[in-house]
Amino acid sequence: MRFKVNEIFYSIQGEGSRAGRPCLFIRLTGCPLRCVYCDTTYAFHEGEMMELEAILAAARERLGPPMAGPNAPFVELTGGEPLAHPGAPALLGALEGLGYQVALETAGSHDLAPVPRSVVKIVDRKTPGSGEEGRWLESNLDFMVSGQDELKFVLCGPDDYQWAKAWCRARDVLGRLDVLFSPVWGGLDAAWLAEQIVKDNLPVRFQLQLHKLLWGPDRRGV
């Protein structure tokens, strides 16, 4: 089984409830979406074909032997849109088979059903401001595991905030899943968003993209 891989790099997890954790990122090439704020357009086409075994060998080489516990070696499959690759669930399962904790970053536009339940799923619900609101598979909510998976909203403005709040409330996801609200980089005022969350007593996690604060918005491989 082969995959087009854009890059494999070791860095700090910049987002979500696991932010700050060292993580090996495997970025697959290609995405059928075109979000207006996309920061990985270089992953739309660039990449080299790699055999599954070569990807696993790269993971083993960087992460070493598996360990249990909260500081176990951590690997994330990202993109592009990794689930646009039909073999992605098998790759996730194989990485888990090495004994690592495994996460998947996805836009929620592709079916989560074949993804192993134990994989940490970070699912990006695209808002109207992204331009890709319609690329969403509602049934994916049924495959998200409470206490493990995360539902993420990148908000482009106050209208997106109101939309995301109403969307979450209509589906009662706030009591079931970790929900993350973040301002789009260079767009929505971060302090405004934090204040709104507090004012509305909304049980979501405010987040900033740690890797962009550390290294700037354009650096690759971090």
In angstroms, give the least distance from the CB of 211 to ligand SF4: 15
Count the residues of the shown chain that bind ligand SF4, applying the rule CB under 6 A.
10
Selected from 14, 73, 80, 183, the binder of ligand SF4 by CB under 6 A is 80
**Nearer Cβ to ligand SF4, position 35 or 88?**
35
In angstroms, give the least distance from the CB of 149 to ligand SF4: 17
Residues 143 and 115 sit within 8 Å (Cβ to Cβ): yes
Q: What span, in angstroms and rounded, lies between the C-alpha atoms of 199 and 95?
A: 42
Q: What are phi and psi of 56, to 5 degrees?
A: -65, -40
Told to check if 34 binds ligand SF4 by CB under 6 A, we report yes
Told to check if 107 binds ligand SF4 by CB under 6 A, we report yes
Stretch in the footprint of ligand SF4 (CB under 6 A) among 30-38, 52-60, 171-179, 197-205: 30-38
Strand 178-183: give its sheet, edge to edge: 48-51, 2-12, 22-28, 74-78, 101-106, 120-124, 150-155, 178-183, 205-206
**Nearer Cβ to ligand SF4, position 41 or 139?**
41
For residue 54, give both structure tokens: 């070569």
Residues 74 and 19 sit within 8 Å (Cβ to Cβ): no
Selected from 14, 79, 89, 157, the binder of ligand SF4 by CB under 6 A is 79
Please provide the size of the chain in residues. Answer: 222
Q: Interface with ligand SF4 by CB under 6 A: which residues?
A: 31, 33-35, 38, 40, 79-81, 107
